[in-house]
A and B are shown apart, each in its own frame.
Chain A
């Protein structure tokens, strides 16, 4: 054990160095959020003078727990929907040979290329026709149909699985949905987790959709709520950046906790599927 540790030492040292570099901006942010207003833009790394009251002020000014709950709800719905549907579609592209496959896959990629700003208004009109604006449905329901990025990602992973597995299972009489659900799904678990985490993060940080679809403050997600905080305490108000930063940290930390929790499953997923040889 100590032998392996010794062998890993140089890697550990290099990783630690890089990690410190990547953490510095974040340390600065958290520390600034804990300083009184006139020290926010100071350059030190210590939260001195210490002003945890910033958090109390942010917490009491706006309904953060409600927004937190909404964000988790929308995030889970969006991530689950996109992961399962994209995997299903990716399996279709990876496993089957059928006329028009490459053309269709080209279309999948093409959908990633049109800037959002232009499809935004037509998409809004569709949800508006369905009378679903000012609900949280448009924030996640589009994900039920898969998303190009994840279809692409998961297809790459599926293509790296040996086809013999599947052919053997076919010979044993498994149906295609069984191939997908019982064979492919577990085997690409690390990639599925990546997709889930990516989409949860995307939903968690997205401001634009909540901004244009939601009017009722009870339905707001955290980034939309952060905009309220920013407009009230930042540029629109007296520029109490310490409150804005405290709000930003509150919006980031639950994500970190969740990520640390998911981390274990990440590792497990990789451990089971990674050791194929």
Chain B
């Protein structure tokens, strides 16, 4: 008997706890600018001088704040457990594409006040980044880095096949299979060189956009996954991979690549043409300065430059105990002077090590302008200098995946479709139709 009562009482307490912790009010600002007290962060780490220099800048600017950085990448369970218990960190560092979902659920504080108080000019952030931290006109995050995609070409391989960089035209989809066939190499039944890597599924949104359609409407609510133009984009990518022996062989070969080392596929001539994030230029400059690397913009089917941008942002969860200091931290970390100081530290470190400085790409236009005006010097390697200019030139031509109330489910739907097609389980049209259904259901549910 008593056991039962005890259990009931216990569940009662629990229910109260659940309900009580469900809606936690946001902290109210006390008007200070630098902030005081303890400040806890989640999802951030201190891997390099870019991070440490900026954190030091904040410590100097706000000596009264007791900063506690819990290192490690953002983790959903960690974050949600803390939110459920009404004990969230003051600041969270996460991928910008996650902001839509959390903001829609009301777990993030609008930064309107913070931005006003700290006199932050939102125009200094790149539009593609700003779009990802804004939901229905309200800003929920301060953008950090800004990563774009460009096309890398290995001229040594091109020359071997009797081609030049000018012969590689990603606007002409009809000619891609022939180009791919010329560049691909198979030795003894094994794929030993990738010709053209479409980077599907990851870059499917960029191929679709090149074909004139976005996977998700700008308001993040209507998927366009079954659009014939998306089907065409996926079919084109699939064709390139089939031309290299199919997905199993292709991805197994690519999995053995070490893009970060001196024995990168670029150095070993294992790949000819591939779109990839801009950071690879930094890595290549460090590890393979002699490589015959050419960087071109990714282009749409009319030949216009096009790129997809992504990156992280700082957000302040509802229930944060120290939103003032959090606001000070987020805005200090992303201020122009702070970025420039961090870039200077990196430039000095690189030069001390006898390596070229290839720049830092932030979500802050003005910071980038100063970094490249004040710190960046031609390295004496025209290939890398030209590449830097190319990357800078495409940054304005960027789009990003819009903030969506069901971002994770949306991603799962189209990644799943692309993977089924690559694995040969499904045809592009059929797979994308199923993805459209799944995405529509998820978005409907999230918008209810």
A16–B82 alpha-carbon span in the complex (Å): 49
Dominant SS at the A interface? helix
**A236, B77: Cβ atoms closer than 8 Å:** no
* Contact A129 to B258, CB < 8 A, known contacts A211-B75, A217-B70, A236-B73: no
**A231, B261: Cβ atoms closer than 8 Å:** no
**A211, B70: Cβ atoms closer than 8 Å:** no
A-contact bits for B25-63, CB 8 A (1 contact / 0 none)? 000000000000000101001111000000000000000
CB of B314, distance to nearest CB on chain A (Å): 16
A201 at interface (Cβ–Cβ under 8 A)?
no
CB of B77, distance to nearest CB on chain A (Å): 6
Query: Across the interface, which residues of B come within 8 angstroms of A39, CB to CB?
Result: 263
A93–B71 alpha-carbon span in the complex (Å): 45
Query: Across the interface, which residues of A come within 8 angstroms of B441, CB to CB?
Result: none
A-contact bits for B191-231, CB 8 A (1 contact / 0 none)? 00000000000000000000000000000000000000000
Residue of A122, A133, A237 near B14 (CB, 8 A) is A122
A73 at interface (Cβ–Cβ under 8 A)?
no
A126–B10 alpha-carbon span in the complex (Å): 10
A37–B75 alpha-carbon span in the complex (Å): 27
Dominant SS at the B interface? loop
Query: Across the interface, which residues of B come within 8 angstroms of A235, CB to CB?
Result: 73
* Contact A124 to B81, CB < 8 A, known contacts A133-B87, A228-B71, A231-B72: yes
A125–B17 alpha-carbon span in the complex (Å): 7
Residue of A37, A215, A227, A231 near B68 (CB, 8 A) is A215
Query: Across the interface, which residues of B come within 8 angstroms of A124, CB to CB?
Result: 81, 84-85
**B87, A128: Cβ atoms closer than 8 Å:** yes
Considering only CB atoms and an 8 Å cut-off, how many residues of chain A contact the other chain?
A: 32
CB of B19, distance to nearest CB on chain A (Å): 11
The total of Cβ contacts below 8 Å across the A-B interface reads 86
**B71, A217: Cβ atoms closer than 8 Å:** yes
Query: Across the interface, which residues of A come within 8 angstroms of B81, CB to CB?
Result: 120-121, 124, 212
**A211, B77: Cβ atoms closer than 8 Å:** yes
Identify which of residues 248-293 in chain B touch chain A, using a CB-to-CB cut-off of 8 Å.
Answer: 256, 258-264, 283
B18 at interface (Cβ–Cβ under 8 A)?
yes
**B14, A126: Cβ atoms closer than 8 Å:** yes
A41 at interface (Cβ–Cβ under 8 A)?
yes
Residue of A nearest to B69 (CB): A217
**B71, A215: Cβ atoms closer than 8 Å:** no
**B80, A236: Cβ atoms closer than 8 Å:** no
A164 at interface (Cβ–Cβ under 8 A)?
no
A: residues with CB less than 8 A from B are 37-41, 120-122, 124-126, 128-129, 133, 208, 211-212, 215-217, 224, 227-228, 231-233, 235-240
